[in-house]
C-alpha cells in the first residue's frame, strides 16, 4: 500500500453505536467505522469466531447504522 492509498481511507471512533445521524436500537456496538472510496464499513475485530451469537448482533448494529459489516478475525475454527 502506497502513501496515496491512505489518503482515500479514513477511520472513525471506537465502540460505535451512532453513525451519521443513525443510532442503533441495540445495546451492542461495533469496534470502528472505516471508509474507503465513499463506502463505509462497520468493522468488528475478533481473536476468533467462537461466538456466533455475538457476530449476529454486530451485523445487526452495522445494518441499523447503514454500514457494510466487516468481521476481522485472527483465528477461524474450521469445525
Contact between 61 and 28 under an 8 Å Cβ cutoff? The reply is: yes
pLDDT reported for residue 79: 60
Q: Who has greater pLDDT, 79 or 18?
A: 18
The upper half-sphere exposure of residue 37, i.e. CA atoms within 13 Å in the direction of its Cβ, equals 1
Q: How confident is the model at residue 10 (pLDDT cuts 50, 70, 90)?
A: low
Say what the pTM is. 0.78
DSSP tag of 45 = E
Please say if the pLDDT value at position 2 is more than 50. Answer: no
The structural domain count of the chain equals 1
Residue 19: domain span: 3-75
pLDDT reported for residue 69: 96
Q: Which helix (H) or strand (E) holds 71?
A: strand 68-75
Query: What are 39-75's pLDDT values in tens digits?
Result: 999 999 988 877 777 889 999 999 999 999 999 988 8
Amino acid at each position: 500500500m502506497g502513501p496515496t492509498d491512505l489518503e482515500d481511507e479514513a477511520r472513525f471512533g471506537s465502540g460505535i453505536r451512532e453513525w451519521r445521524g443513525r443510532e442503533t436500537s441495540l445495546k451492542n456496538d461495533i469496534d470502528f467505522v472505516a471508509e474507503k472510496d465513499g463506502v463505509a464499513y462497520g468493522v468488528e475485530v475478533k481473536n476468533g469466531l467462537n461466538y456466533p451469537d455475538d457476530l449476529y448482533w454486530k451485523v445487526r448494529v452495522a445494518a441499523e447504522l447503514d454500514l457494510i459489516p466487516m468481521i476481522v478475525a485472527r483465528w477461524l475454527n474450521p469445525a
